[in-house]
Structure 1
Amino acid sequence: MKRLIKKVAVIGSGIMGSGIACHFANIGVEVLLLDIVPRELTEAEQKKGLTLESKAVRNRMVNDHLAFALKSKPSPIYHPSFAQRITTGNTTDDLAKIKDADWIIEVVVERLDIKKQVFEQIEKYRKPGTLITSNTSGIPIHFMSEGRSEDFQKHFCGTHFFNPARYLKLFEIIPGPETTSEVLDFLNEYGEKYLGKTSVIAKDTPAFIGNRIGIFGIMSMFHNVKEMGFTVEEIDKLTGPVIGRPKSATFRTVDVVGLDTLVHVANGLHQGVPKDEAHDLFALPNFITMMMDKKWLGSKSGQGFYKKEGKDILALDLNTLEYRAQKKASFATLELTKGIDKPINRFKILVTGTDKAGEFYRKDFSGMFAYVANRIPEITDDLYKIDDAMKAGFGWENGPFEIWDAVGVEKGIELMQAEGKEPAAWVTEMLASGNKTFYSVKEGATYYYDIASKSQKKIPGQDAFIILNNIRESKKVWSNSGVVIEDIGDGILNLEFQSKMNTIGGDVLQGINKAIDLAEKEFGGLVIGNQAPNFSVGANIGMIFMMAVEQEYEELNMAIKMFQDTMMRVRYSGIPVVVAPHGMALGGGCEMSMHADKVVAAAETYIGLVEFGVGVIPGGGGSKEMALRASDLFRKNDVELNVLQEYFLTVAMAKVSTSAYEAYDLGILQHGKDIVVVNKDRQLAEAKQHALLMANAGYTQPVKRKDVKVLGKQALGMFLVGTDQMQAGSYISEHDKKIANKLAYVMAGGDLSEATMVTEQYLLDLEREAFLSLCTERKTLERIQHMLTKGKPLRN
């Protein structure tokens, strides 16, 4: 049976309910969001003469919750206009409307009695066959559907979204006793394909998979931190990006999530898993209990493990429970990994450290290895599901079993035994059977050790993805220090950046030209995409800085021209070029996208021309391209200056989209040409299909543009007056004004006496000249140096 989801009803509009509603709106689904009717009027409502029967009062709770969510940062919605897909109401007046829903999601308070009352009411109006799921994070699923009809029970299960629903990819599906396989299969595919999630089917055990492992990790850290004599800053240094975890690491993450939320789950586990070997770790240490008593819950209460005081952020001393200035954390063990870019390659070194950090990693990893091994088959039968859950729900770059593989399975057992722990029997059996790793790669696919068959099995669902880690060596066509070019099949090449932060320097530009050469000779098309955390943070400004400081202006001019020529080659090649940006796609990464035949962007793409932040204008064709795109929008009898001004401000204000959908508003992505995919894992496969489609349709190399309309002195005068006023009002500095005026000169097409049709090359020459002249300015060099050393813009 084919099942379509056209309308979703979400019952409960709190942080999670509103977040889930927004994410369904993100993917184009109509949403009905309901909550309860308030029992009393607010003072403001009384002053307005409203009563408890007034619609504004009856829908106050749901509307306030949704408004709060939509104002929050980061936003739960891809584009403000998508909120129109959500209709609000209340569970007293509007519950009957759920009869039109294809999927009903319960997101009310975590109390079984209340949930059962809600389900009883839902069953009065729900049409047979409609999906009905609960977003519970811990209440056993089998309790919830007791007493409900057979049809209800067959179509009921848990669907646990992680907060925030837009950003965290984990989607746990927990079957009830009667849930049909058709429902589970549908939700598994829908979560991955439409919601952009990593779908994981979990067993109905306390806290399911993600929170069971994640809370164990945090609680064991809480118990170890004082015993081992660490500060909160030291733990956050050790458990952040250095091991492929989010910047917020451990204690900052708890502050953001809320200590009360963590404690709620930990208490539930302490009561719910009495036979767990780590049962005692789920008991709260004294300092957590005292923080709860003081209501030091984190960001929501203004203080937690960290506290902002004026401009300073103070850290909590766990021994005295007093706040103090932060102390810089540094460890010799971490210094050993500085030259290693990928976290997965650091673990083997981290566990050999002879200082406190090495001791911490040995204790922490061995505890995690032992715990996850013992959770099979309790929480899942398949080890890869634990790794998937931790990567998707907690933002880990590598899951526990992947880390164990990186350390070495036998070495991991040594670490465990040194801490008085023994591996689960199945791990010993795995080694005895000749399988030395949990994962292996064969013929471009990832296999995992299946305990039941005692053999390596292919992880299901990979056929929809292209996984570069699996094909990089076997399908490599060419490489240098900055790129790898892979054959991704069907006559399509992929070019993957390999430079630090995927910056674009000479080696990357050489690689792009080589990829186009190869594709034009032997292949049908090219995809430029990678699977690093970010697509590209732009040009290698370190190289630009060195050339400018050494006053090697001829070399710098040639480097800028090579960048421009390469971007133009992306546009004017004999084969289709599809660019697949995701994460940060800034500066040169944005310019490359703007010159592609098509962009297949991940929904979570933060793209923009940010060169103003380092004291220059876009010099890789970005300034030219914004003038060209404005020109293409000029219409007879329209005020052309207004269109050009919008594009000028996008660059001058260094605007960056907060999603790929916002990039359409900035003129960076183009309607009718570029597309957005919600699941980043599918992005390269999707990009390949579009390249193939264009190639098979008979791609013809475009003709270079000679019809770009520039407005000359008319536009230039407007811009110069505007920048004068901005500086006079102290909105911008003198150097900001100089940069803006250089951009104005380029986008106006120079000081031509009248509107004129010019070539792209004419604008590129103006752009390069302006970029080069700004590189001779001391204040620009100060800005570049500040970005290189501090990682943030300087206003001077």
Structure 2
Amino acid sequence: MSARLSAVEAALPGSNFYIRKVAVCGAGVMGAQIAAHCVNAGVPVVLFDLSAKDGDKSAIAKKAIAQLKKLSPAPLGTPELGDLITAANYADDLGLLTQCDIVIEAIAERLDWKRELYHRLAPAIKPGAIIASNTSGLSITSLSQALPEPLRHRFCGVHFFNPPRYMNLVELIPTADTDSVLLDQLETFLVAQLGKGVVRARDTPNFVGNRIGVFGILSVFAQADRFGLPYELVDELTGTRLGRAKSGTFRTADVVGLDTLAHVVRTMQDQLTDDPFHAHFKVPPVVAALIEKGALGQKTGAGFYRKQGKAILRIDPATQEYIPADAKIDEGVAAILAEHDAAKRLKALRESAHPQAQFVWAVLRDGFHYSAVHLADIADTARQVDQAMAWGFGHALGPFEIWQAAGWQQVAGWIADDIKAGKALSSTPLPAWVGSGPVWEAQGVQTAAGSWNPRTQKFEPRSALPVYQRQIGAPRQVGEPSTLHETVVFENEAIKCWTLPAPHPRDVLILSFKTKMHTLSPDVVRGIAHAVDLAEASFKALVIGQLSEPFSAGADLKAMMPAFAAGGVAAVEPIEREMQEMVLRLRYAQVPVVAALAGMALGGGCELSVHCAKRVAHFETYIGLVEVGIGVIPGAGGMSYCARRAAQLQAEGAPDAPLLAYLKKFALAVASAQVSKSALDARHIGYLLPSDTVVMNRYELLYVAVREAWALAESGWRPPMAQTFPVAGRDGAATLKAQLLNMKVGGFISDYDFVVAEKVAHVICGGDVDPGSMVDEAWMLALEREAFLGLLGNPKTQERIAGILKTGKPVRN
């Protein structure tokens, strides 16, 4: 073959950019977990750290990798992924950098240490590689000066939030020299390959997320002190009731680490001396006192809170002793926070004389005030501030979204009045753009034209990067119109059947559920059968997926219980049979059916998905057959699937090996109500197949699923032919029951857990038949129905179901 390029080859743009391998320099908490998330995404990683003084020079990195397998929440999708990270040290292994397309520095937040490392790395970095610093607030421009000038255009900041697997936000911070094309390539990698939400920030201390978020924490500290509210009450007021993380403020500080919080606060204190809110940039005395005695939060077992037995205690700042955390929210204030209308909610908070309501209004007002004053300094648009708070701090709505939803002009007047009255944390007035011009006329910073940029004085549209065209159903900001533009084919109170507009395949029908938690009510079950009829009649394929999580929390117990109450077990039998018929309808549909999974796929949701032609799963998908927790066995084909899949694995693997060797993992997973810890873990258990697709970005799920379904249809897909398969029989069941007995004797399961698990063993092994007997799905489904209905009639199962419906928590009887 000639080495010379053809005319066609020479004319190709050659703009494709691939990340073949990533180097992470620094095997501390953040560096190791960034490496973990890269291998979660299938990206090879070299993890560097200093050379160990004795023995294996890469021992520091190896120890960090070993620790990844033990952490909770787990940084790795499965522990085995840790073995795919290459441990390295700076003394011997810098040559490995020549294989890496991205080099992420993630060492301690010391400007001098980072600069010294750059001098060491620079000669070995691969030509064309992107170089990035994971820093929470150091100057990216200052860091870049430590690199040789030819490398500076390839350098930027990339701030992952902790823990990197679970926190969506990544801030991307360019310098004036950063190549814009490389920045776009890095953003595309972060969004599509690592599944992140990217916010581009200006190179200012603490960037966007921590700048606004940590100010918000300091505001909570200040206002809690002003209104004399205890920590547990503040957490109740600033948690889910306010559309924020369940842990509120002080519990979140404990999780993050009080030393980490103090570091970020000191960065603001030292570097933002001209900030008009600077008087409040100081480590609160209670935090300093806790740090002084080593109470750093969750990682040391004590911080603002400490667990003592089953009791939760909180620190008393006056005595520095831990006391019961038992303060309660006022019922009237709780009612205000439950108000859905944002304008009414904020008005009621501001006008209430109750200190709890006044506290909440003050915290919200401070956030609005600070965000408006500093928007032009820290970000391009208001959208970036709101996204940073949603993705990095777990807020349902960002400050500008809340403000706009409650009435821009009204809230702006309230803030101005509070500033004038000396109630705000700073006397600095709101910027002129808040109260006049385009924002005032549009009554908000988010419009159909885009998000407000105070520097350009324009509303600017979202990024035009192609990666964002793959996102279907991604949240829009308050005031921003939907871009979904779906065509509804059929809709009722339980389901919606719809299609996407061009350029998406128009001949793929999408089915979504409308029930709470997307549970499988009788109407949803009938709707699924109707969707299959529609797809077979007029479309090439069917995708079952939701625009919001979860995929499905399983059967709708509340919908089933009236039938049981009226007619007992006999009245439930038709519902059970209809569920089984539905999953068979999916399995043998004349068009391919693809399940698009994200979040929980439990019980009936799992059974539905395993009967589809294929599954496309977001990495954070938690799949499991969990029915034993309410005292029944899976009754909608789950046991049939497990038995059939075990037989397939035996046939594909070692046909001479005992069937029980393949069946055991399914049986124990069901008997223990095991839920996968990730999509990769679900593949390990067997609820996902090796051929199923895993995507990293939640909002690319439907894009991929629709195309997978269309590709199956276009490739001549045919439904499987019904076949018999061998089962483990009574001998297999006896072996499983012996193991279950050991679990009962060891105290791992209760007496009634054992009763239910015995039924699992009986059904999954095909009943009272000889080992190796050939059965079909009808046989297995009949066994499922019999066991399910039999257990449903047991008072202990009824007690479990009543408990879960009343409290949401399993009853262990």
The corresponding residue for 2:51 is 37
Note the C-alpha offset of 1:333.
Answer: 4.9
Q: Any idea what SS the aligned residue of 1:601 has?
A: strand
Distance across 2 between alignment mates of 1:559 and 1:238: 42
In structure 2, do the counterparts of structure 1 residues 684 and 98 end up closer, same or farther at CA, with 3 Å as the change threshold?
A: same
Distance across 1 between alignment mates of 2:373 and 2:63: 44
Q: Any idea what SS the aligned residue of 2:553 has?
A: coil
1:634 to 627, 631, 650: 650
Match for 1:165: what amino acid? P
**1:520-535 to 2 correspondences below 5 Å:** 520-535=536-551
Deviations 1:470-517 (A, max 9, x none): 367863333333333332231223222332222221232233233323
Distance across 2 between alignment mates of 1:337 and 1:503: 30
1:746 to 763, 774, 779: 763
Q: Any idea what SS the aligned residue of 1:352 has?
A: helix
In structure 2, do the counterparts of structure 1 residues 145 and 514 end up closer, same or farther at CA, with 3 Å as the change threshold?
A: same
Contact 1:232 1:315 in 2 (8 A): yes
Note the C-alpha offset of 1:550.
Answer: 4.9
Distance across 2 between alignment mates of 1:337 and 1:716: 56
- Worse-superposed segment, 483-492 or 466-475: 466-475
Contact 1:439 1:456 in 2 (8 A): no
Q: Any idea what SS the aligned residue of 1:752 has?
A: coil
**1:394-405 to 2 correspondences below 5 Å:** 394-405=393-404
In structure 2, do the counterparts of structure 1 residues 432 and 62 end up closer, same or farther at CA, with 3 Å as the change threshold?
A: closer
Deviations 1:563-600 (A, max 9, x none): 22222222222322211111222112211211111111
The corresponding residue for 1:683 is 701
**1:633-652 to 2 correspondences below 5 Å:** 633-635=649-651, 636-652=655-671
In structure 2, do the counterparts of structure 1 residues 504 and 708 end up closer, same or farther at CA, with 3 Å as the change threshold?
A: same
- Worse-superposed segment, 328-337 or 204-213: 328-337
Note the C-alpha offset of 1:546.
Answer: 4.7
The corresponding residue for 1:671 is 690
The corresponding residue for 1:557 is 573
Identity %: 37
**1:527-606 to 2 correspondences below 5 Å:** 527-550=543-566, 552-606=568-622
Distance across 2 between alignment mates of 1:762 and 1:253: 52
1:480 to 492, 495, 500: 492
Deviations 1:375-421 (A, max 9, x none): 22211111111122222222223222222232222233243234226
**1:22-421 to 2 correspondences below 5 Å:** 22-38=36-52, 52=54, 54-55=55-56, 58-327=57-326, 329-333=328-332, 335-336=334-335, 348-349=344-345, 352-353=348-349, 354=352, 355-420=354-419
Contact 2:244 2:395 in 1 (8 A): yes
Note the C-alpha offset of 1:15.
Answer: 0.3
Distance across 2 between alignment mates of 1:34 and 1:662: 27
Distance across 2 between alignment mates of 1:127 and 1:743: 56
Deviations 1:297-339 (A, max 9, x none): 1012221111011222212234543322221533435654798
Contact 2:659 2:727 in 1 (8 A): no
The corresponding residue for 2:461 is 457
Note the C-alpha offset of 1:81.
Answer: 2.3
Deviations 1:343-383 (A, max 9, x none): x8667536524444433332222221222222222111111
Note the C-alpha offset of 1:177.
Answer: 3.0
In structure 2, do the counterparts of structure 1 residues 498 and 449 end up closer, same or farther at CA, with 3 Å as the change threshold?
A: farther
Contact 1:15 1:69 in 2 (8 A): no
Contact 1:553 1:772 in 2 (8 A): yes
Distance across 2 between alignment mates of 1:745 and 1:596: 25
Distance across 1 between alignment mates of 2:186 and 2:487: 34
The corresponding residue for 1:425 is 432
Match for 2:546: what amino acid? N
Note the C-alpha offset of 1:535.
Answer: 2.3
Task: Name the TM-score, length of structure 1 as normaliser.
Answer: 0.91
Match for 1:368: what amino acid? G
Note the C-alpha offset of 1:59.
Answer: 2.7
The corresponding residue for 2:7 is none
Note the C-alpha offset of 1:64.
Answer: 2.2
Residues 1:655 and 2:674 are matched in the alignment: yes
**1:689-700 to 2 correspondences below 5 Å:** 689-700=707-718
Distance across 2 between alignment mates of 1:182 and 1:553: 65
- Worse-superposed segment, 536-545 or 117-126: 536-545
- RMSD of the TM alignment (CA)? 2.5
Q: Any idea what SS the aligned residue of 2:97 has?
A: helix
Count the aligned residue pairs.
Answer: 772
Contact 2:46 2:88 in 1 (8 A): yes
Distance across 2 between alignment mates of 1:432 and 1:101: 45
Residues 1:713 and 2:730 are matched in the alignment: yes
Deviations 1:433-468 (A, max 9, x none): 642343346xxxx94345536346355444221117
Match for 1:134: what amino acid? S
Note the C-alpha offset of 1:754.
Answer: 5.4
The corresponding residue for 1:793 is 810
Distance across 1 between alignment mates of 2:36 and 2:741: 42
Contact 2:132 2:156 in 1 (8 A): yes
- Worse-superposed segment, 261-270 or 716-725: 716-725
Contact 1:334 1:350 in 2 (8 A): no
In structure 2, do the counterparts of structure 1 residues 339 and 692 end up closer, same or farther at CA, with 3 Å as the change threshold?
A: farther
Match for 1:454: what amino acid? K
The corresponding residue for 1:6 is 20
Distance across 2 between alignment mates of 1:222 and 1:143: 32
Q: Any idea what SS the aligned residue of 1:270 has?
A: helix
Contact 1:545 1:784 in 2 (8 A): no
- Worse-superposed segment, 365-374 or 286-295: 286-295
The corresponding residue for 2:451 is 448
1:435 to 429, 438, 442: 442
The corresponding residue for 2:8 is none
Residues 1:499 and 2:499 are matched in the alignment: no
Q: Any idea what SS the aligned residue of 1:795 has?
A: coil
Gaps of 5+ in 1: 40-51
Match for 2:736: what amino acid? F
Q: Any idea what SS the aligned residue of 1:164 has?
A: coil
In structure 2, do the counterparts of structure 1 residues 339 and 284 end up closer, same or farther at CA, with 3 Å as the change threshold?
A: closer
Deviations 1:525-545 (A, max 9, x none): 222222334222222223344
Distance across 2 between alignment mates of 1:458 and 1:291: 43
In structure 2, do the counterparts of structure 1 residues 119 and 468 end up closer, same or farther at CA, with 3 Å as the change threshold?
A: closer
Note the C-alpha offset of 1:141.
Answer: 0.9
Distance across 1 between alignment mates of 2:246 and 2:369: 26
Distance across 2 between alignment mates of 1:337 and 1:599: 43
Distance across 2 between alignment mates of 1:278 and 1:498: 46
2:472 to 448, 461, 466: 466
Task: Name the TM-score, length of structure 2 as normaliser.
Answer: 0.90
The corresponding residue for 1:47 is none
Contact 1:634 1:640 in 2 (8 A): yes
Contact 1:132 1:155 in 2 (8 A): yes
The corresponding residue for 1:44 is none
Distance across 2 between alignment mates of 1:307 and 1:224: 23
Note the C-alpha offset of 1:602.
Answer: 0.5
Q: Any idea what SS the aligned residue of 1:606 has?
A: strand
Q: Any idea what SS the aligned residue of 2:472 has?
A: coil
Match for 1:448: what amino acid? S
Match for 1:395: what amino acid? G
In structure 2, do the counterparts of structure 1 residues 156 and 450 end up closer, same or farther at CA, with 3 Å as the change threshold?
A: closer
Distance across 1 between alignment mates of 2:252 and 2:499: 40
Deviations 1:138-169 (A, max 9, x none): 11011112253222111111111111111112
Note the C-alpha offset of 1:751.
Answer: 1.1
